[in-house]
Structure 1
Amino acid sequence: MQDHDHFSMQDFLCDEAFQNWVLHPDAASDAYWEQWMEQHPQQRPAIFQAKAFLRELRFVHHLPEEGTEEQSLKQVLLRIEEIERAPVTRPALIRRIFNMSLSGKIAAACLFVLLLAGYFLFIHPSRNEKPQQFATSFGKQQQLTLSDGSSVVLNANSSVTLKKPWSDNVPRELWLTGEAFFKVVHRNADSTQIREADRFLVHTDDLTVEVLGTAFNIRNRRGKTEVMLQQGKISVRFNDSSKAPVVLRPGDLLVYDPAEKEILQRTASPEKYVAWKEKKLLLEDPSVAAIIAYLEDNYGVTIRLDDPQLATRKIEGPILLDNLEDPLFILSTVLNIDIQRNDSLLIFKTKPTKH
């Protein structure tokens, strides 16, 4: 596998291993890329942008007219035959095509047709409108008002992608990476007469949340997706077709781990799950390990403990999140530790006991 340390978003888009992970994820690739991002937090923004772009390509529903693919394939194969017969010196690429088997020529022709289709679908401005993306950097939040009046609060190190403008006769859809809180506007006040166009859909890597009009939080981190419903009613559909949809009601929390194929549903405190909007950290399990995971995901740092026992300690009460210094001060004081910094690496070292 290539060295991705200095890849740009464009480099990731062109990388076959990255493409396979985004478009055909499995437990092994999820584990590799999650570990890689933990080791290279500075590359998270480029990865999130590339992932959002590739996922957007997956959901473009445009099919050529009947017979178009066959006609295009015939034209390309005919052109290849003409090149073979031409008595001119061929460049290296043409010589490679000339020496291909028939199946190889067909594969090359199909690739050409796909590239041509991609140009007209995703590049040519008169044929397709560019998706709109909103993204936050480490330690930053952003509040958005969508064209239908719905609002989104993006947590740090997160992004949403949507097609604009939305029209009144199609469902509203967007794709989330990271964490966001949604407050969705009803298109139809009569919940018994919901039309297809009234639907509001939020997609993550592993599932889709369908909303009629409600307030909820989605966290898509570390290979898991957590959905916390504050108000209203939502339906959660999984990309894994073997999993039945789940309906959530206010106070319900759903945690989905696709690698383990595990769905956990229980009641929880919505106020704790959305406290980050007020720049506070309130965890149901306020262990140091959970606090560290949150700080790494939202501030782009890597934290190591010289004493593994520190991870099990708990810190009750809210932790302010105006900036990274606030939680680090709380942790250093409560845990009686020194924090050593080396760029984005933070090492928690237990202070020696005084005699």
Structure 2
Amino acid sequence: MIPDAAHIKQLFIKHANGTCTAAETAELLNYLQEEGSEEMLPMPDEIAGGMSGMLPMGNVAAERVLHNILGTGATPEVKRGKSVRLRWIGIAAAAAALVGAVVWLYRPGVKQPVLTAYSTVKGEVKHLLLPDGSRITLNGNTTLQYDSAGWQANKREVWINGEAFFNVAADAAGRFTVHAGSTTQVDVLGTRFNVLATSQQTQVVLNSGKVKVNISKGDNTKEEVVLVPGEMVAYQPDNNKLTQQMTDTLQLTSWKDGLHAFRETSLADIATMMTRQFGVKVSFAAAELATLQFTGTTPAGNLDVMLTILEKSLDLKIYKHGDQVVITKAK
């Protein structure tokens, strides 16, 4: 019997809302396993009510969702058909995230997580209060998620891409874990620290307390680092380089207080920060300009004022056109 497309769409909507019964879940699983049924898959915008901006989770995440349909962590022995089915599952899961809750497919007896997400646009700083009283400050172009349904003293977890400063509640019992990007896990208890997670590097700076940083390296090895106040650990996946050292915590975490503090910082490093936080592309009219060093403070959320301060302090002329910034010598 050929399934009705409207009925299948309703099953996906119910699943996204976490209201599928066991029988409906079994029906949905059977549908996904059928060969040649890709043409009947409802589009994600049908499920999300026409919402835009959906990004696929990728085959790895989609496989994980499919495993949860089956109710097991083991690799399922089922017919997959074409890879488009997996890609669609990932897109549908992302559609569910846009309506405020990403839920894993039905698993009997297991409470479904609800990922609550907070994000900032380029140049924005946002302050958050988590259920345990921990205070988080998000830098620009950052996303943080946590499981609001499963949040409890013995399992406090957040996921971050971008940069955030954490002030973990000291009187909240139990473990607090930060998943930074795809390589780093930070285990903390009653502490203040900064996490930067980008595709170029992951960096953890400890202001007070104690953290244990677990890093999955590109050579399939893992390394554990324990930080003391004033220390930083940084990992660059491109060259598999891991460094641990004492650092200037004021310079690396002052952004949370509305200022960027620089101490003999090269223009090349400042340009990298501007690209990350404001989304601009910075170029130098002469290579030696990138090596110039700046000491001082600038507003954290105002790119135009920052560029003006750099111009006057280093005798430069800086041109900004849209998302392009060109640094030249003053004439």
Structure 2 residue 286 is matched with structure 1 residue 313: no
SS of residue paired to 1:185: coil
Given the alignment of the two structures, is residue 236 of structure 1 paired with residue 213 of structure 2, yes or no?
A: yes
Shift of 1:163: 1.0
Structure whose residues are more often helix by fraction: 1
Alignment partners' CA distance in 2, 1:339 and 1:110: 49
Report 1:77-156 matches (<5 A). 106-108=79-81, 121-122=103-104, 128-156=112-140
Query: Does the Cα contact within 8 Å between 1:225 and 1:255 map onto a contact in 2?
Result: yes
Q: What residue in structure 2 maps to residue 202 of structure 1?
A: 178
TM-score (norm 1): 0.65
Partner of 1:13: 56
Change (3 A) 1:326 1:116: closer
**2:275–2:281 CA contact under 8 A, matched in 1:** yes
Whichever residue aligns with residue 350 of structure 1, its letter is: K
- 1:315/1:63 Cα in 2 relative to 1: closer, same or farther (>3 Å)? same
Quickly say closer, same or farther: Cα 1:285–1:265, change in 2 above 3 A.
Answer: farther
Structure 1 or 2: more strand by fraction: 2
Match of 1:318, SS state, is: strand
The number of equivalent residue pairs is: 266
Read off the aligned partner of 2:177 and give its amino acid letter.
L
Q: Is the 8 A contact 1:231 1:249 kept in 2?
A: yes
1:304 maps to what in 2?
A: 283
Aligned pairs (5 A) from 1:54-93: 62=68, 64-65=70-71, 73=78
Cα distance 1:209–1:129, how it changes in 2: closer, same or farther (>3 A)? closer
Check whether the contact 1:185–1:214 (CA below 8 A) recurs between aligned residues.
Answer: yes
CA apart distance, 1:351: 2.6
Contact 1:147/1:166, CA 8 A, preserved across alignment: no
Q: Which SS does the other structure have where 2:265 is aligned?
A: coil
CA RMSD, Structure 1 to Structure 2 (Å): 3.6
Cα 1:58–1:112, aligned 2, differ >3 Å: closer, same or farther? closer
Helix, strand or coil at the partner of 1:137: coil
Matches of 1:274 and 1:335 in 2, distance apart? 24
Q: 1:62 to 1:247 in 2, by over 3 A?
A: farther
How big is the shift at 1:251?
A: 0.9
Q: Which runs of 5+ in 2 are unaligned?
A: 1-51, 94-101
One-letter amino acid of the structure 1 residue matched with residue 196 of structure 2: R
Looking at structure 1, the residues matched to 282 and 137 of structure 2 have their Cα atoms a distance apart, in angstroms, of 26
One-letter amino acid matched to 1:161: Q
Q: 2:48 maps to which residue?
A: none
How far apart are 1:165 and its partner, in Å?
Answer: 3.1
Residue deviations 1:133-156, cap 9 Å, x none? 100011110000000100100011
Secondary structure of 1:13's counterpart equals: coil
Map 1:139-288 onto structure 2 (within 5 A).
Answer: 139-168=123-152, 170-186=154-170, 198-205=174-181, 206-240=183-217, 242-283=221-262, 285-288=264-267
> Which is greater in Rg?
1
Structure 1: which 5+ runs fail to align?
1-7, 24-53, 74-105, 190-197
Moved over 3 A (4+): 57-70, 109-124, 126-130, 186-189
Q: Secondary structure at the match of 2:256?
A: helix
Once residues 282 and 222 of structure 1 are traced to their aligned partners in structure 2, the CA distance between those partners, rounded to angstroms, is: 24
1:9 aligned counterpart, secondary structure: coil
> Which stretch of structure 1 is more off in the superposition, 257-266 or 109-118?
109-118
Q: Deviations over 1:218-266 (max 9, x none)?
A: 1123510111001111100112351321111111110111221111001
